[in-house]
Structure 1
């Protein structure tokens, strides 16, 4: 009998779980959040995602993508667009069926990407997330 440690083949598991992020879908999300929030993009507003949920329901796989993928994707978007994505994923957990992210929510790596840019979420944004979510992991993830 031998005693050893089993080590998973990380390369194989990463390849299987990697799904390309369709930037056109993300742009539709950003546009929809911005449009629903109005021209002012008021920090207090919380768009009703149900109005365009039918269009995006098939994109709920986005909520389950690994954090590393979101960290790789975030530099393709400016900070305003990343904030729109954060708002969308925060609201999606509450308003849309099958969009629960929990400790794996895209909000966490997206917020981290802003911190890496030296543009962390402002107090008002943090309060907005807390006000519009019951996910205890947002925006910083599990301890």
Structure 2
């Protein structure tokens, strides 16, 4: 169990949080280069704290963000966010971006492939991943 810090303004920060494409590109690259297990050391504590709000963005925000992403990029982000949930303050439960991004793939007709489902389930303790509450 990780111990994080409580921020009384966290809800307000989440509502104002905007996803930056540069951050998404960095997350995608970490997945492509298979460096996800190094997240706690690759992301500074400041980055971890400032970016944690992206884990609780709405379905609509993720659907909008995903419009400019390829299926491959979405799959890499799903891997990144699966591992990122282990960082302090990044847990998202049934509101994980992994779920919303998977729904984007389903809407596109691609869906989440079996290999990715198995990988997500073997790398996460979040019972809702990858499909959400059933």
The TM-score with structure 1 as length reference comes to: 0.76
Q: Secondary structure at the match of 2:112?
A: coil
Which residue in the other structure is 2:40 paired with? 50
Tell which structure's C-alpha radius of gyration is larger.
Answer: 1
Partner of 1:61: 53
CA deviations over 1:94-125 (Å, ceiling 9, x no partner): 2x111001011010110000111111111111
Distance in 1 separating the partners of 2:93 and 2:61: 17
Instruction: Please list, as runs of the form range in 1=range in 2, the aligned pairs for 1:1-143 lying within 5 A after superposition.
Output: 17=15, 19-35=17-33, 37=34, 47-54=37-44, 56-57=47-48, 58-94=50-86, 96-143=87-134
Structure 1 unmatched ranges of 5 or more: 1-15, 39-45
What is the number of equivalent residue pairs in this alignment? 119
Unaligned ranges ≥5, structure 2: 1-13
RMSD: 1.8
Displacement over 4 Å in runs of 4+: none
Please give the alpha-carbon distance, in whole angstroms, between the structure 1 residues aligned to 2:108 and 2:40.
32
Deviation at 1:19, TM superposition (A): 3.1
CA–CA distance in 2 between the matches of 1:48 and 1:126?
Answer: 21
State how far apart, in whole Å, the 1-side matches of 2:41 and 2:71 are. 25
d(CA) in 1 for partners of 2:76, 2:37 = 11
